[in-house]
Amino acid sequence: MSANPVTSIQTFMSTGLPLFADLPYKVQAMTPDVVRFGRKEMDLALHEMPGLAALREQFAVEQPLKGARIMGSLHMTIQTAVLIETLVELGAEVRWVSCNIFSTQDHAAAAVAAGPQGSADDAQGVAVYAWKGETLEEYWWCTVQALEWPGAGGPNLILDDGGDATLLVHLGYEHELAGTLPELDKAGSVEERVIFQVLHDVREARGGDYWTKMIKNIRGVSEETTTGVHRLYQRAEDGTLQFPAINVNDSVTKSKFDNVYGCRHSLVDAIMRATDVLISGKRALVCGYGDVGKGSVQSLRGQFAKVAVTEVDPICALQACMHGLDVTTTEDALADTDIFVTATGNKDIITAQHMVRMKHNAIVCNIGHFDNEIDMAGLEAMRERGEVEKIEIKPQVHEWKFKNTTHGPNGGGHSILILAEGRLVNLGCATGHPSLVMSASFTNQTLAQMELHKNAESYGKTVSVLPKHLDERVALLHLDKFGVKLTQLSEEQAAYIGVQVQGPYKPEGYRY
């Protein structure tokens, strides 16, 4: 991986690394071939990311992010690499961690660490801590490295995806404020146990005001996705949010492009790369019919699968009906469904007991945000009891063979295939959304970071959405790529519908 860490008596859990390692970066491989591959893919991606290219051209001289110290926690892909270097070109200092243990594209991480003017032997780029296949302990170690800003007391802005960085600094601050530490044996999950251990080790290494000093310097966060936004609104409502937040997820040019059109492209890409099964004619169940569910249904229907959905929301269920879909329950679909896709952003959607009843070789995957839509902990408990066997087919593709069921081959135990260990399948088993889709999302992120850097104190400790004129601007930056010619309103037409000639063209509450 990277250079050797500083010597330390104590290492963090199973990582073999001190919690504060003082490494300039840590990636899977830093070789000339890997760096060259990443840089070439970044060059190709930039051509497909006109929003970011336009911001680079417009603001290269102005440097609107000069003085910004941005800690990013977002999938370390080629597209993210273009975002990172856009932030740098606009003046920011950046440190980065992937927000998912399986989503990193290692050549992207290496290329960003090397930098556009550097090389494998002379890294001059961004401090990146990410590699595909991290353990949970390594993931949270990486998060600490990206938050630790040498000589500066931490970041002054966070760019988050799922809210992990925001969670860690808030949790650390709250325990310091109360003079407490979380009880390790009261952790609700394996991952929470790791987070609690981080707080214990930070307290031991840096004393009782590390997070308090850090959080006072953080002026704001821009959040990428549904789960992280939900966490932010909860904190805003209960009065515990410590800095302003911009909800990037609910910008139309993010939610529709990323959640609908991105999933439409990347779901079947992941399933086919992972399994090579024919999707046409198979029965598929998509759990959840929000934006991600809608994109997932379109993806599967594009391969002529027979698709049904589950829903708790009557409006989304009615939409599904209008789109010609069956709306059913997971329990009723278990016996004859070939492909299960969770897309809810909730927990315990497919349980271990559901999987016991699935048909032989059913494929199970998640494209919602978190790792607990599919009950992997329940399966692991069954494995410890000897009731199921986990067999790796290839990285991020596992057969789980049940020993006590009778609806498998010849009346024996059945198997199911679980992709990406229940985490995001499009990033674990494929390369995520295509560059043009991510250009819309990341143009929003860049604008949000610029807004926070300029005006954070005017927001208060609230969660805000970028104004509609910026949403329209993001769309406008991408239209030339499709050869679009927009119709222009006359003054009379604009007045008739109550808008300005140059927009915004829809009221804030308009549903696209």
Q: Which two tokens mark 50?
A: 């006109």
Q: Which two tokens mark 141?
A: 């170690």
Catalytic residue among 85, 138, 176, 263: 263
- Using alpha carbons, list the distances in angstroms from residue 449 to 52, 208, 241, 490: 13, 30, 18, 34
Catalytic residue among 259, 298, 426, 449: 259
Q: What sign for the dihedral angle of Cα 405, 406, 411, 417?
A: negative
Q: Does residue 174 have an active-site annotation?
A: no
- Give residues with Cβ within 8 angstroms of 338, minimum separation 6: 282, 283, 284, 359, 362, 363
Catalytic residue among 93, 201, 258, 421: 258
Q: Does residue 445 have an active-site annotation?
A: yes
Q: Which two tokens mark 201?
A: 């080790």
Catalytic residue among 106, 164, 176, 224: 224
User: Three-state SS for 331?
Assistant: helix
Catalytic residue among 93, 106, 161, 223: 161
Catalytic residue among 73, 441, 444, 449: 441
Catalytic residue among 433, 451, 453, 478: 433
Q: Are 324 and 348 in contact (CB under 8 A)?
A: no
Helix (H) or strand (E) holding 330: helix 330-333
Query: Strand locations in 150-297, DSSP E?
Result: 157-160, 220-223, 245-247, 283-287
Catalytic residue among 222, 247, 251, 445: 445
Q: Give the closest residue to 155 by CA, choosing from 126, 197, 186.
A: 126
Catalytic residue among 26, 170, 175, 254: 254
Q: How many angstroms from the chain centroid is the CA of residue 179?
A: 32
Q: Does residue 75 have an active-site annotation?
A: yes
Q: Does residue 369 have an active-site annotation?
A: yes
Please name the amino acid found at residue 84.
Answer: I
Q: Does residue 323 have an active-site annotation?
A: no
Q: Does residue 433 have an active-site annotation?
A: yes
Catalytic residue among 2, 28, 98, 222: 98
Q: Give the closest residue to 228 by CA, choosing from 378, 355, 351, 73.
A: 73
Residues in the chain: 512
Q: Does residue 249 have an active-site annotation?
A: yes
Q: Does residue 103 have an active-site annotation?
A: yes
Q: Does residue 291 have an active-site annotation?
A: no
Catalytic residue among 28, 79, 103, 415: 103
Helix (H) or strand (E) holding 245: strand 245-247
Query: Strand locations in 367-459, DSSP E?
Result: 388-394, 397-402, 415-419
Catalytic residue among 73, 79, 145, 249: 249
Q: Does residue 259 have an active-site annotation?
A: yes
381 φ/ψ angles, rounded to the nearest 5 degrees = -65, -40
Alpha carbon distance 123, 3 (integer Å): 11
Catalytic residue among 2, 41, 75, 175: 75
Catalytic residue among 107, 170, 369, 398: 369
Q: Are 417 and 91 in contact (CB under 8 A)?
A: no
Burial class, 238, CB count within 10 angstroms (exposed 0-12 / middle 13-18 / buried 19+): exposed
Q: Give the closest residue to 77 by CA, choosing from 29, 33, 132.
A: 132
Q: Does residue 209 have an active-site annotation?
A: no
Q: Does residue 263 have an active-site annotation?
A: yes
Q: Give the closest residue to 181 by CA, choosing from 189, 172, 190, 170.
A: 172
Annotated catalytic sites, by residue? 75, 98, 103, 161, 224, 249, 254, 258-259, 263, 369, 433, 441, 445
